[in-house]
Amino acid sequence: MKEAARAGADRSGDPYLPEHGNGGYRTRHYDLDLDYRIATNRLTGRATVTAVATHGLTRLSLDLAGLRVEQVLVDGAAARYSHVRHKLHVRPPVPVPAGAEFRVEVRYGGRPRPLAGRWGDIGWDELADGVLVASQPVGAPSWFPCNDHPADKASYRIAVTAATPYTVVATGRLAERRRGASTTAWVYELPEPTPSYLVSIQIGRYERTNLYSGVPVQRAAVPTRLRRPFAHDFGRQGEMMQVLQRFFGAYPFTEYTVVVTDDDLDDPIEAQGMSIFGANHVDGRRTHERLVAHELAHQWFGNSLTVADWRHIWLNEGFATYAEWLWSGASGGPPVEGLARMWHARLRTRAADLRIGDPGVSRMFDERLYKRGGLTLHALRREVGDDVFFRTLRAWVAEHRHGTVTTAQFIALAERHAARPLHDFFQAWLYAAPCPTCPAPFRRVDQGVGGRACRRVHPRSP
Query: Domain of 286: which CATH number?
Result: 3.30.2010.30
CA 42 to CA 141: how far, in whole Å? 16
Among residues 154, 180, 201, which one ends one of the domains? 201
Q: Domain range holding 211?
A: 206-299
Give the pLDDT confidence score for residue 6 in this predicted structure. 59
pLDDT digits (tens, 9 = 90+) for 105-137: 999 999 999 999 888 899 999 999 999 999 999
- Quote the Cα angle for 94-100-105, to 5°: 60
Residue 451 has pLDDT above 60, yes or no: no
Q: Which of 61, 64, 75, 73 is nearest to 23 (CA)?
A: 61
Q: Which of 398, 402, 382, 367 is nearest to 458 (CA)?
A: 382
Q: Are 170 and 124 in contact (CB under 8 A)?
A: no
> Do 71 and 120 lie in a common domain?
yes
Give the pLDDT confidence score for residue 8 in this predicted structure. 77
Query: In angstroms, how far is CA 43 from the centroid of its own chain?
Result: 24
User: Is 126 among the annotated ligand-binding positions?
Assistant: no
Give the pLDDT confidence score for residue 106 in this predicted structure. 98
pLDDT digits (tens, 9 = 90+) for 76-95: 999 999 999 999 999 999 99
Q: Please state the domain count of the chain.
A: 3
> Do 148 and 6 lie in a common domain?
yes
Residue 361 has pLDDT above 90, yes or no: yes
Give the pLDDT confidence score for residue 441 in this predicted structure. 64
Give the pLDDT confidence score for residue 325 in this predicted structure. 98
Among residues 201, 225, 255, which one ends one of the domains? 201
Would 460 be classed as within a structural domain?
A: no
- pLDDT range class, residue 438, cuts 50, 70, 90: confident
Give the pLDDT confidence score for residue 1 in this predicted structure. 34
pLDDT (mean) for 48-75:
97
Would 462 be classed as within a structural domain?
A: no
- pLDDT range class, residue 2, cuts 50, 70, 90: very low
pLDDT (mean) for 40-68:
97
CA 35 to CA 41: how far, in whole Å? 10
Which of the residue ranges 2-16, 173-187, 307-321, 352-366 would you say has the lowest mean pLDDT?
2-16
Residue 385 CB partners (closer than 8 Å, separation 6+): 446
> Do 90 and 158 lie in a common domain?
yes
CA 7 to CA 16: how far, in whole Å? 23
> Do 395 and 344 lie in a common domain?
yes
Residue 5 has pLDDT above 90, yes or no: no
> Do 421 and 311 lie in a common domain?
yes
Would 43 be classed as within a structural domain?
A: yes
Question: Which letter, b or e, does each residue of 392-415 get, where b requires 16 or more Cβ atoms within 10 Å of its Cβ?
Answer: bbbebbeebeeebbbbebbbebbb
> Do 60 and 190 lie in a common domain?
yes
> Do 410 and 269 lie in a common domain?
no
Residue 333 has pLDDT above 50, yes or no: yes
pLDDT digits (tens, 9 = 90+) for 362-421: 999 999 999 999 999 999 999 999 999 999 999 999 999 999 999 999 999 999 999 999
Q: 100: domain CATH number?
A: 2.60.40.1730
> Do 333 and 408 lie in a common domain?
yes
User: Is 317 among the annotated ligand-binding positions?
Assistant: yes
Give the pLDDT confidence score for residue 13 in this predicted structure. 86
Would 72 be classed as within a structural domain?
A: yes
Residue 246 has pLDDT above 90, yes or no: yes
pLDDT digits (tens, 9 = 90+) for 298-325: 999 999 999 999 999 999 999 999 999 9
Question: Which letter, b or e, does each residue of 276-290 get, where b requires 16 or more Cβ atoms within 10 Å of its Cβ?
Answer: bbbbebbeeebebbb
Would 459 be classed as within a structural domain?
A: no
Average pLDDT, the chain: 93
pLDDT (mean) for 27-45:
98
pLDDT digits (tens, 9 = 90+) for 280-298: 999 999 999 999 999 999 9
- Give the whole-number percent of the chain exceeding pLDDT 70: 94
Residue 22 has pLDDT above 50, yes or no: yes
Among residues 177, 201, 225, which one ends one of the domains? 201
Give the pLDDT confidence score for residue 117 in this predicted structure. 85
pLDDT digits (tens, 9 = 90+) for 136-174: 999 999 999 999 999 999 999 999 999 999 999 999 999
User: Is 3 among the annotated ligand-binding positions?
Assistant: no
pLDDT digits (tens, 9 = 90+) for 266-282: 999 999 999 999 999 99
> Do 287 and 316 lie in a common domain?
no
Would 8 be classed as within a structural domain?
A: yes
> Do 191 and 315 lie in a common domain?
no
Would 4 be classed as within a structural domain?
A: yes
> Do 288 and 348 lie in a common domain?
no
Q: 378: domain CATH number?
A: 1.10.390.10
- Give the whole-number percent of the chain exceeding pLDDT 90: 89
Would 211 be classed as within a structural domain?
A: yes
The residues annotated as belonging to the active site are 295, 370
Q: Which of 369, 371, 370, 392 is nearest to 380 (CA)?
A: 392
> Do 431 and 450 lie in a common domain?
yes
